[in-house]
Amino acid sequence: MDFFNHISYVRKNGIDKVYETSDMATFPPLIYFMYYFFSLILPKNATVMYDPASTSPYALLLYVWYCSVVTTVLAVTVIKVTKGKMNSQLLLIAVILTSNIFVFNVLERGNSVILVCILLIWAVMWKDSENKIKREFALIFIAVAAAFKIYPAIFGILYLFEKRWRDAAHLVVYGVVFFFLPFFFFDDWSPMMGQFLINQFTIQDQSYYGMNCITSLYNLIAKICDFKRRGLTSVTLTAVYALLSVVGVYGHRSLWKKMYLLTSMMILIPIWSATYTLIYLVIPLIFFFFDPETKPRKTNYVYSVMFAFIFAMIALKGKILDNPPSYYLEYIPVYVIDIMLIADGIRAALINIIAKNDNMAQNIQNQGKN
């Protein structure tokens, strides 16, 4: 599992050589200091790389403690951000913590994705705070999340679209510091930075089939329809999807819709995207149910049903194209909501652009009369 594997990476040759230990060591360096700390706590040989069965009780106890802490923090975070009735808050927490995604993906893998999710929730909550310190911490949380997983950096476009140039500049500075500074704590930082990039290309060069991302979906369709896969085609499809999603973020005014498009990009763009990344959808889920602007419309009932499938606790027997049926019950709704929000967002963006052009033309015409 990821939790013990990454501890093993830093334990084998030390944190200075973590990227040379395995090409699966692909996280930026900041998160490896956490794994290094855990490796110091555990006795020697408490973890065995790629062999969960040989994991010692001490390591298992550490993981139980880790899961307890992050689960508690996630529950407290949901309560803090929703500010609704306690019954509704507890129901939402129960839905999240008993979902397939959380139990059989996040907890089963022990990936640091849950830490990123928590950081981003707090960042969104404090992004528009009247308190200057909280707004600055929102930037730091996004930067740290990006230093853990890289792709949360996409949240920076929110500041660009809102023309908050100073905040955007601060975010870039924080991002550079948290991403690059940890490299300099390595004895040979330059070779390690190079090896980090090599590991990234190695893991991205593999072929995956399924609905986990745009590329793997294209590969799956090519396999079913028996046509030759072309790397350029998958890259183009991913780029088009990213562009349309960004336009959708620009067009939407609803917070949860922006959050959904941003988090779905974090899920569907990376080639190496496992099912545990679906936990990012907790962010739009929270704001969907507790955003006062979410009104009872027909489309919102559709979104509710789709979210119900995504976060359901469903265990169906059998296999469909090498995956259990619950896999498709989670991913198909992700694409359905994505398509609906992208289409609606592009429509809203075009209306905004046309309205701005009409206002600009009207202003020029009025100036001419004066």
For residue 312, the SS3 value is coil
pLDDT of residue 145: 97
Q: Residues, the chain, total? A: 370
> If we measure between CA atoms, which residue out of 281, 264, 275 comes closest to residue 323?
275
- Spatial distance between the Cα atoms of 20 and 195, rounded to a whole number of angstroms: 7
Quick one: pLDDT at residue 112? 92
CB-based contacts of 342, cutoff 8 Å, min separation 6: 244, 245, 247, 248, 261
**116 vs 343: CA distance, rounded Å:** 28
Nearest Cα residue to 7 out of 51, 73, 69, 71: 51
Full 3-state SS string of 175-222: HHHHHHHHHHHCCCHHHHHHHHHHHHHHHHCCCCCCCCCHHHHHHHHH
Write the burial class of residue 122 (CB in 10 Å: 0-12 exposed, 13-18 middle, 19+ buried).
Answer: buried
Which tokens belong to 81? Answer: 């951000």
How large is the angle between the packed helices 57-82 and 29-41, nearest 10 degrees?
130
User: Could you tell me the residue ranges of all domains in the chain?
Assistant: 198-370
Please, which residues have CB within 8 angstroms of residue 20's CB and are 6 or more apart in sequence?
13, 192, 195
Q: How many whole angstroms separate alpha carbon 41 and alpha carbon 31?
A: 16
Candidates 348, 148, 137, 341; CA nearest to 256 is: 341
- Angle at Cα 139 formed by Cα 134 and Cα 145, nearest 5°? 120
> Given this model, what pLDDT does residue 342 score?
96
CA distance 21 to 15: 10
Joined together, the tokens standing for residue 158 give 């929110």
What is the residue type of 58? Answer: Y
Please list the pLDDT of the chain residue by residue as tens digits (370 residues): 789 999 989 988 888 889 999 888 999 999 999 999 999 988 878 887 777 777 888 889 999 999 999 999 999 999 998 876 788 889 999 999 999 999 989 998 899 999 999 999 999 999 999 999 999 999 999 999 999 999 999 999 999 999 999 999 999 999 999 999 999 988 888 888 999 999 988 887 777 888 999 999 998 888 888 877 776 788 899 999 999 999 999 999 999 999 999 999 999 999 888 899 999 999 999 999 877 666 667 888 899 999 999 998 776 666 777 777 788 888 999 999 999 999 999 999 999 888 776 665 566 556 655 5
Q: What three-state secondary structure class fits 45?
A: coil
- Spatial separation of the C-alpha atoms in residues 273 and 59, rounded to whole Å: 26
Give the pLDDT of residue 359.
64
CA atoms in the 13 A half-sphere facing the CB of 160: 11
CA gyration radius, the chain:
22
**What CA–CA distance (Å, rounded) separates 337 from 310?**
11
Token pair 């975070």 is found at 77
Query: For residue 364, what pLDDT is reported?
Result: 56
Residue 271 has what pLDDT? Answer: 87
